[in-house]
Structure 1
Amino acid sequence: MWRGSPYSYAHLERLLQNHFSAPRRLFQLHALLLTSGALSASHAATTAAFPYNCLIHAHLRLPATSPTSLCAPLRLFSAMLAAGARPNGHTFPSLLRSASASGPATTALHAQCLRRGLTADRFVACSLLSSYGRALPHDACKVFEEMGTPDLASANAMLDVLCTAGDLPSATEFFQRMAERDVVSWTTLVSGLSRNGCHQDAVEAFRGLLADNNNNNNTRLALGEATLVSVLSACASLDGAEGLAAGTSIHAFVVRHGVHLTAFLGTALIDMYGKYGKLGCCKAAFQLVREKEVCTWNALLSALANHGKEAEALVSFNMMIVGGFSPNQITFLALLTGCARAGLVQVGLYWFEAMVAEYRVAPTMAHYGCVVNLLGRNGRFMDAVKTIERMPFVPDASVWGALLGACKLHGNVELVAQIGRKLVDLGPHQSDWYVTIRNIYLEDGNWHAATRMGEVMHEAGIKKTAGQSSVVFHSIAIP
């Protein structure tokens, strides 16, 4: 069957593509290739690398939870060399992706590329940069310098390496020195700045992109979804009215230029308005998204749950289920948050149980924190403590902090001491919780305990975070 004809190998590629997400079927196809002799040493000389390339790529497309998704490609490569098949420019990008978390594996594959004269290949070069960038950013810089005359794709890959490594000064300088830029270049810079907390700089970079577009009519860039999503994410993370003003201007830009509101762009827009409590704008943006995804519903649910519209969040959740969408961890986090804020104990506990039993969604630390907050706010401290004790992992400061907030609300001073000891054991990373404990003691008139907590803070080197306030007069206009 597999004797090297283009027809048979076209069938092979189609079969592998159809079974990327089914590990068992993929292994069956692999076994068929082995037993038919298509991967034998004698056959490899005539079929070259094609079947191996298909298998390597197929294994990388397996679900991330599959134990073979990353190690199998390297084993296939070893078998490929043993069979005498010659790797080509289609072989190494997939291999480098599988080795991206391992510096030694990337170095070994780089040596293979050099030996076979493939480092000049555009796709191989970009893959080398990305692979080194995840494990050895400094070596990625060396690879880029050795390219001589790198093309735009390679320059974009190097820019992404610098942003991923958090070296924003170098990334910005590199971007300014790029002889040519495209929408990928701008998007990489904007998203890199936003991911590393430089949200104002990300918005300014986006404005630079628009200004560059207006000044260069001959090379006008078509802004893609990724660019707009990145800058809206930066707007959502800014403080005060400045972020809302920038986000609203970008929304106006989207409307004015007739940009299609995809599920992911709509999600970013809903999330941005939700962060500033503009629920009317959230709902309007949600209605404009024609092909909604789970993330779109999650953004709306989170906005409603976090801004006093818990009943609406529950109604929207039911509409989401009726619409055939499967809730995920973020969905249930928004739902439990709304139940805790509204004091809907039984409803919240029901959905927490259904989350695991019916929807097979594994709860995280944040979900347990919501349940503790839900019980604690309603004075059910014993149930809250039992929930913490039943957690499958060690509770962190956020969980104990949720219980502490409930203690402050109900004046449960007896439980505060126990929580204080737990927080001290976790270390001095959450200074605000220590201050809250001291204030609870002071309000209760327990000066001795308050003084002792102050001494504990001093011994641990904890300083109270200074209060700050600011007024923003700056306005951001997006043309």
Structure 2
Amino acid sequence: MASMAVSVLVSEPVKGNHLPRLYDERHLSPLLKKRLALRQLKQIHAKLLRGGLNQDVVLVTKMVGACAVSGAMDYAYLLFRGTQHPDLVLCNAMLKGYTQNGFMKEALHFYVHVLEGGFFFPDQYTLPYVFKACAALLAVTAGRAVHAMSVKSGLAGDAFVGNSLVDFYAKCGDVDSALCAFCRIEEPNPISWNILIGSFVSSGDMVSARKLFDEMPERDVASWNTMLSGYAKAGDLVEARRVFEQMPERNLVSWNAMIAAYAQNGKGEHALMVFSQMVGSSVSPGVATMLTVMSIVSNMSNSDNVNWVVDLAARSEFANSVSILTAIVNLHAKFGRIDDAYRVFSGIHDKDTVCYNAMIGGFTQNQEPSRALELFRRMQSEAIEPDAMTMVSVLSACAQLGALGLGEWVHNYVERNGIPMDVYLGTALVDMYARCGDVDSSWRVFIKMPQRDVATWNAMIRGLAMHGHGNGALQLFLQMEIEGYSPNYITFVALLSACSHEGLVSHGFSIFNSMKAKYGIMPGIEHYGCMVDLLGRAKHLAEAREFIEKMPIEPDSAIWAALLSACRFHQNLELAKEATEKLIALNPSHDGNYVLLSNIYAKAGKWEDVARMRESMRSQGVRKTPGCSAVEIGDSVYEFTAGDRSHPQWAEIYAKWNELAKQLKPMGYSPDTGTVLRGILDEEEKEQALYRHSEKLAVSFALITTKPGTPIRIVKNLRICVDCHRAFELISLLLGREITIRDRNRFHHFREGHCSCRGYW
């Protein structure tokens, strides 16, 4: 290197693109160890050029190292090419820079054309970088050629080179060659042994791994951890635990491996016991530990461990970590603690996309779609980019609200912003359109999807079923099998539901009987519920009761509710009483059980029994869930409850329905006052009570706020009543409007005086 004094850069902090003042040469080395912008690297290079030092190989090598730290390997190569007399150290710096930055093809190309080209002969520092590149590229042929050269040159026996060679063969899955390379190492060190043991572990040969482990002259904690992870991966928890107990020393990796071993093999309680031991040891849990433990707790059926784990995380050194706080949000949301989740979310300072996804997903999972959509708008206002997972949750919120317009906007947003349409996002779109009442758009998305999974087929089959296209759902199931997809538990729930809504009794029994016989799927409580519903809707009430009697599993409230619903429809009072008694015994606080039987009594004119049911509700502290209907107008969703007068236009809404009722009566509409409370003695008052149903208010509001001919879509929290159903059939004929109602059970498409349910609801 020239001895003359030159002006170069000092080691002061580098801020932005501005360089510090100039001093002497000795300050260059520390500066070049920092991460610099390309502009700064060029400025330093310019100083070297002006100082006549651009051919100083030592300084150029340091510059190449600085380029590697900064990821500017293209510029590093220009520096190399501009050096008239490069040496092997500079070549090795280039190789190191390429491999550090993941440019494995470039590293191999550089080695072949520069080093093997006859310019230099590789040394023990060169070959490890080459083997690393070959391993990453799985370039077995090239690696073997380099191996042969290392043997001829005598470098294969060097531990540094030999270890890289063993690692290369291990990563390429050639354990035999890895063993041969290991045997050539003159003085294998613990790293050599650990790499070879790891290769046997990766190949699943725990017998050979154990043999090597036992032969090791000196084991370190990494050796024990490798064996522990190997047994865990093989599912041998007994041996994994034995290794763990025998370890002379445990570090964070050891504890994490044992906890993960239990977690990955479905032993969550055991994993938490090990974590509890860890908390009492000298090793503190790390971020990865806490994330694993919170994932374990979230997958458990009870919330007993939530507070304990959350408190530990809050007291840890990484309590302010965004990833930890996000995991806490997920944990609270999983167990319905949505306000606690939002409190933690609100306290996170540097919120990112994953953080927002956790909270938006939490709202949708806990049936709070309005809050989910509100948070999505806030996410956009803060310029945080949504991803596919965000859109899946937002689409779920739209589906819950029945907000088709907003769902369409989300679909357009995905396409405009180039968000990848993976199978999860595509399935969410299929489900959203179906649940928002637009089964045609659901189908269009489905047939355009380049990839589908079973969940996608299930969503489309379920969508067809809920819209009354039972035969279409059955045809799609046949197509699903033709394309090689195996149905699962959920598929059969959707299929049996389709049969139920269509009254396809024989098809339903055929599908139900094939579940175990043909597909090896044991029917669950949901499938039995569908069968009871199918028989009940088809007026086979005695067969439905007998079916329940013969069930191999204990009927739950959904089974008896299906039977009670059929009894209401077909006015079977005796069986309805039995079903209600069973329901009240299983769930005494559920209002629907009392209301259904009360309505059956009212329809039959048994007012004393109605009064008794009402008194029973009062004594049990049970309150009737108010009917609630939501209708989307423009970009907003409006909700109405039964008898609602909170809307600013309530007077116009009520006047509109009264006007409609007068127009409908000449068409044959007669308000069904039979189920209205006997205490309302005046027939006109009974009619007015019916006129206050939430879906009637929603329809009236839609009629006064939308243009003629505009379709009306409503989502209702309860089952639509007989009176509203008949009224909407006639309105669709009178006004030429298409009215779609999604009630608790299914969709009702009212067109030209008819409903798609054909009386099955």
Query: TM over 0.5, yes or no?
Result: yes
CA 197–42 in structure 1, closer or farther in 2 if over 3 Å, else same: farther
Deviates more, 1:283-292 or 1:78-87: 78-87
2:280 is the alignment partner of 1:111: yes
**How far 1:376 moved relative to its partner?**
1.6
CA 441–125 in structure 1, closer or farther in 2 if over 3 Å, else same: closer
CA 91–225 in structure 1, closer or farther in 2 if over 3 Å, else same: farther
**How far 1:331 moved relative to its partner?**
0.7
Kindly provide the amino acid, as one letter, of the partner of residue 379 in structure 2.
L
Q: Please name the residue that 2:120 is paired with.
A: none
Distance 1:132 1:426 in 2: 29
Q: Please name the residue that 1:336 is paired with.
A: 496
2:284 is the alignment partner of 1:124: no
Distance 1:392 1:49 in 2: 48
Cα deviations by residue, 1:273-303 (Å, 9 ceiling, x for unpaired): 1112211110111122111100000000001
Cα deviations by residue, 1:28-47 (Å, 9 ceiling, x for unpaired): x556655x373699875472
Selected match of 2:558 from 384, 387, 398: 398
2:175 is the alignment partner of 1:11: no
Cα deviations by residue, 1:89-140 (Å, 9 ceiling, x for unpaired): 265166157375475543212233xx13x54x44235335555776233542
Q: Please name the residue that 1:376 is paired with.
A: 536
**How far 1:400 moved relative to its partner?**
1.1
Q: Please name the residue that 2:110 is paired with.
A: none
CA 332–363 in structure 1, closer or farther in 2 if over 3 Å, else same: same
CA 310–128 in structure 1, closer or farther in 2 if over 3 Å, else same: closer
Query: Where do 5+ consecutive residues of structure 2 fail to align?
Result: 1-175, 183-191, 638-761
1:397–1:430: 8 Å Cα contact kept in structure 2? no
Selected match of 1:143 from 313, 325, 337: 313
Distance 2:306 2:234 in 1: 26
**How far 1:386 moved relative to its partner?**
2.1
Selected match of 1:359 from 519, 530, 546: 519
CA 206–55 in structure 1, closer or farther in 2 if over 3 Å, else same: farther
Identity %: 28
2:256 is the alignment partner of 1:92: yes
Selected match of 1:227 from 377, 390, 400: 390
2:202–2:230: 8 Å Cα contact kept in structure 1? no
Kindly provide the amino acid, as one letter, of the partner of residue 226 in structure 2.
F
CA 476–360 in structure 1, closer or farther in 2 if over 3 Å, else same: same
Q: Please name the residue that 1:55 is paired with.
A: 231
Distance 2:339 2:257 in 1: 29
Kindly provide the amino acid, as one letter, of the partner of residue 15 in structure 1.
S
**How far 1:207 moved relative to its partner?**
1.7
Distance 2:436 2:345 in 1: 32
Deviates more, 1:249-258 or 1:189-198: 189-198
Kindly provide the amino acid, as one letter, of the partner of residue 178 in structure 1.
I
**How far 1:58 moved relative to its partner?**
4.5
Deviates more, 1:278-287 or 1:175-184: 175-184
2:330 is the alignment partner of 1:160: yes
Q: Please name the residue that 2:399 is paired with.
A: 236
Distance 2:603 2:525 in 1: 30
Distance 1:426 1:173 in 2: 35
Distance 2:218 2:504 in 1: 67
1:193–1:201: 8 Å Cα contact kept in structure 2? yes
Kindly provide the amino acid, as one letter, of the partner of residue 202 in structure 2.
R
1:38 aligns to what SS in structure 2?
A: helix
Cα deviations by residue, 1:391-430 (Å, 9 ceiling, x for unpaired): 2222122111111222222222232222232223223233
Deviates more, 1:243-252 or 1:44-53: 44-53
Distance 1:227 1:441 in 2: 48
Selected match of 1:80 from 235, 241, 244: 244
Cα deviations by residue, 1:133-164 (Å, 9 ceiling, x for unpaired): 76233542343333167444334334434434
Distance 1:252 1:442 in 2: 49
2:382 is the alignment partner of 1:212: yes
1:49 aligns to what SS in structure 2?
A: helix
CA 359–32 in structure 1, closer or farther in 2 if over 3 Å, else same: farther
1:106–1:132: 8 Å Cα contact kept in structure 2? no
| Higher-strand-fraction structure | 2
**How far 1:184 moved relative to its partner?**
1.2
Deviates more, 1:134-143 or 1:368-377: 134-143
Kindly provide the amino acid, as one letter, of the partner of residue 423 in structure 2.
A
For these two proteins, the number of residue pairs brought into alignment is 438
Distance 2:551 2:452 in 1: 34
- Runs of 4+ with >6 A deviation: 1-4, 39-43
Alignment of 1:242-391 (within 5 A): 243-391=403-551
Deviates more, 1:39-48 or 1:204-213: 39-48
1:209 aligns to what SS in structure 2?
A: helix
1:49–1:88: 8 Å Cα contact kept in structure 2? no
Distance 1:377 1:149 in 2: 56
Distance 1:279 1:149 in 2: 46
CA 191–58 in structure 1, closer or farther in 2 if over 3 Å, else same: farther
Distance 1:392 1:148 in 2: 51
Q: Please name the residue that 2:17 is paired with.
A: none
1:45–1:84: 8 Å Cα contact kept in structure 2? no
CA 440–128 in structure 1, closer or farther in 2 if over 3 Å, else same: closer
Q: Please name the residue that 1:196 is paired with.
A: 366
**How far 1:347 moved relative to its partner?**
0.6
CA 375–125 in structure 1, closer or farther in 2 if over 3 Å, else same: closer
Kindly provide the amino acid, as one letter, of the partner of residue 433 in structure 1.
N
Q: Please name the residue that 1:63 is paired with.
A: none
2:244–2:258: 8 Å Cα contact kept in structure 1? no
Distance 2:624 2:320 in 1: 51
Cα root mean square deviation, aligned: 3.1
Cα deviations by residue, 1:312-343 (Å, 9 ceiling, x for unpaired): 11111110011110111111111101111111
Q: RCO (CA 8 Å, sep 6+): is it higher in 1 or 2?
A: 1
Distance 1:191 1:109 in 2: 32
1:53–1:91: 8 Å Cα contact kept in structure 2? no
Selected match of 2:349 from 156, 173, 179: 179
Distance 2:480 2:203 in 1: 35
2:609 is the alignment partner of 1:444: no
- TM-score normalised per structure 2: 0.53
2:255–2:278: 8 Å Cα contact kept in structure 1? no
Distance 2:573 2:297 in 1: 54
**How far 1:175 moved relative to its partner?**
3.0
Kindly provide the amino acid, as one letter, of the partner of residue 156 in structure 1.
T
Kindly provide the amino acid, as one letter, of the partner of residue 291 in structure 2.
C
Alignment of 1:29-68 (within 5 A): 36=211, 38=213, 44-45=219-220, 47-59=223-235
1:324 aligns to what SS in structure 2?
A: coil
**How far 1:471 moved relative to its partner?**
5.5
CA 151–452 in structure 1, closer or farther in 2 if over 3 Å, else same: closer
Cα deviations by residue, 1:229-282 (Å, 9 ceiling, x for unpaired): 1221122122x5xx3232221111011122222111111111111112211110
Cα deviations by residue, 1:36-72 (Å, 9 ceiling, x for unpaired): 373699875472311212322453xxxxxxxx8xxx3
1:462 aligns to what SS in structure 2?
A: coil
1:5 aligns to what SS in structure 2?
A: helix
